[in-house]
Amino acid sequence: NFRWSRFKNLEARQMFETVSDHVFPWLRAMGGEGSTYATHMKDARFTIPTPQLLAKVVDLLDKVPMEDRDTKGDLYEYMLGKIASAGQNGQFRTPRHIIQLMVELIAPKPDDIICDPACGTAGFLVAAGEYIRDHHPQALRDEKLRKHFHSNLFHGFDFDNTMLRIGSMNMLLHGVEN
């Protein structure tokens, strides 16, 4: 019932009710009770103030090609860069080319454990995950390594709960389950 092809054609009021009454509660609980994602999302709120503004966002998003995971993740990170208050509380977004350099220098392996002590939007962790997917494609075919990839390989910390929510969603959008 919540397919984009149907949702984007709803009237603004119906879109708003669908997101606030169904989609957002589902997003808060996704991953199951006790999961990292659910823990960070439990206090998240839907803050688009009007049905008309939501309809405008949906119209704009509908014009963006979303065929692959990279496009969705890149769009998410771009939107974060636009809405995040850079420099507030000492928070800054690390430029993508710096993240790529760091990841290539450490050359993560599928059995590593990676920690970002100030993860923010989880851009570094996402890039490390993409590196592993690209350089070790067999890793996700091995049951033990796949479980490690989705549950234990990535650890991110931040003092800002909003950033933890954003980072968790970013990881999920890039295919990391927990």
pLDDT tens digits, one per residue of 27-47: 777 766 767 677 777 777 788
The span from the CA of 126 to the CA of 13, in Å, is 35
The span from the CA of 164 to the CA of 119, in Å, is 8
pLDDT digits (tens, 9 = 90+) for 56-78: 988 888 887 766 656 666 666 66
β-sheet bridge partners, residue 61: none
Reported as half-sphere exposure (CB side, CA atoms, 13 A), residue 84 has a value of 24
**What is the per-residue pLDDT for 73?**
62
Exposure b/e, 122-139, CB count within 10 A at least 16 = b: bbbbbbbbbbbbeebeeb
- Residue 24 CB neighbour total at 10 angstroms: 17
Higher pLDDT, 14 or 1: 14
Q: Please report where in the chains the tokens 């998240």 appear, as a residue.
A: 44
Kindly report the pTM of this predicted structure: 0.63
